[in-house]
Amino acid sequence: MDEFKRDTVKPVYVASVILLFMFFLPPVRFFLQESGERWIYILLISFFLSFFITPFIKLFGRKFKLLDMPDARKLHAAPVPVIGGVGVLIAILVSIYFNGIFTKGLTAVIAGAFIIFISGLIDDIWSVSSLVRLLFQIVSVLILIFSGISIIIFSRHTWLGFAFNTVVTFVWIVGITNAMNFFDGMDGLASGLSILIAVFLSIVSFQTNQPFLGWLSLAVLGSCLGFIPYNFGINKKATVFLGDSGSNLLGFILASLAVMGEWSGKSLIASLATPVLIFSILIYDMIYITIKRFGTGQVKTIKEWMDYVGRDHLHHRMEALLQSRNKSVLFIYLLSFTLSMNALILRNTSTADAWLLLFQAGAILIVISILEIVGNRKERRKDYK
């Protein structure tokens, strides 16, 4: 209760409550919508609502013991509410609802995201098996596919083309959803990466005249911006976690937006390269840990891979190298920003240029891998001596 009082008496919190009330007033909403500034309305209402509601979510979590308890594997030393994703979801849904424009694709994404959120919330509270979580994820992706949302690489008018596109769509959305969940291992990491990804998706969406994608991206962006002050600080610990419900929710929505978009009219490669660059950190970490775990025999089956809990993700490796969790998080922010910048110029590039940008991103990540491997080896030798 003391923490709740500290959160809600701050001047910036009081100001957010006043501004949130103003944005709910019909004249303000209609003015921004009719003047063509819907994006500002969605961004700000999701931000203020998320910032306003999170202290109540924290209070609820503590009251009903919905906490992430510390143990030898985890980084926090005290119980922390693990249902921060509830506030993020509410902020996204309310901002989209008050925008007042809906499409079949948007409805499908929200429906799938809600299923993902519920499965994550159940896991946060009672814990469920990896196969059950995967089943929920498959159902959510099927909703998208039956709504016409799919990666199109080959013609969908042939069975082989449809099957290939469907498999790639499953791999992409399920992979990104789980990768975002993996990155929810340090204060501010998953929420901060979601902010960066949403920023670049929204920019490219408006560049390519896809306002619906831009609006949903901004809803995610605003909700994460309102949440992150409670989840990350240079000199303070997180007071609330996204939980599996929040991290899976963000991963699913952002991955779905990447599938929905048509990111370049120049070439298929340029269109595919845009989301690959924006999500490159998540893709890189997923590939790295998969090769390492199977290559070293730590896991031998897909189920073992899904159940495996280790400290071999990028943020763990960078923490070992930089000797600081905050530095690790900030470094990953910078790396994600650097790689995503290339996505902004792909709209007008040729196929050859798109390949070059992808190879450049790959080279940067290989350099990072070499540096961290060499640095960690030297650190281990020093400790041995």
- At 80, phi and psi to the nearest 5? -130, 135
Tell me the C-alpha distance between 70 and 253, whole Å: 29
Q: Give the global pTM.
A: 0.94
Q: How far apart are CA 272 and CA 330, in angstroms?
A: 27
What pLDDT was estimated at residue 378? Answer: 60
- The strand pairing partners of 81, in sequence order, are 67
Q: Rounded to an integer, what distance in angstroms lies between the CA atom of residue 294 and that of residue 338? A: 30
Predicted pLDDT at 308: 82
- In sequence order, the 6+-apart residues with CB closer than 8 A to the CB of 62 are 3, 81
- pLDDT given at position 172: 96
Calpha distance 42→91 (Å, rounded):
10
The confidence score (pLDDT) of residue 376 equals 66
SS3 81: strand
* pLDDT at site 58: 94
274's tokens: 């845009």
Q: Which residues of the chain have pLDDT under 70?
A: 1, 71-77, 376-385
Alpha-carbon separation of residue 144 from 105, 148, 203, 215, 309 (angstroms): 8, 6, 23, 18, 29
Pick the closest to residue 240 from 320, 110, 124, 357 (CA basis): 124
| Predicted local confidence at residue 102, as pLDDT | 86
CB atoms within 10 A of CB 380: 11
| Nearest alpha-carbon partner for 112 in 153, 170, 168 | 170
H helices of 64-158, in order, are 84-99, 104-125, 130-146
Q: Going by DSSP bridges, is the β-strand pair 67-68/80-81 parallel, antiparallel, or unpaired?
A: antiparallel
Q: Which residue has the tokens 């929420």?
A: 191
If we measure between CA atoms, which residue out of 94, 326, 43 comes closest to residue 199?
43
Angle subtended by helix axes 104-125 and 130-146, to nearest 10: 170
* Amino acid 276: pLDDT: 94
Q: What is the 3-state secondary structure (H, E, C) of 210-263?
A: CHHHHHHHHHHHHHHHHHHHHHCECCECCCCCCHHHHHHHHHHHHHHHHHHCCC
3-state SS assignment for residue 67: strand
Task: Determine the Cα–Cα distance for residues 381 and 292; give it in Å rounded to an integer.
Answer: 21
pLDDT value at position 76? 56
Closest CA to 242 of 372, 129, 123, 371: 123
Residues 6+ apart with CB under 8 A from 126: none
Q: What letter would DSSP give residue 68?
A: E
Within a 10 A sphere around the Cβ of 140, how many other Cβ atoms? 25
Which pLDDT value is given to residue 301? 82
DSSP class of 236: B
Residue 349 has φ and ψ, to the nearest 5°, of -100, 160
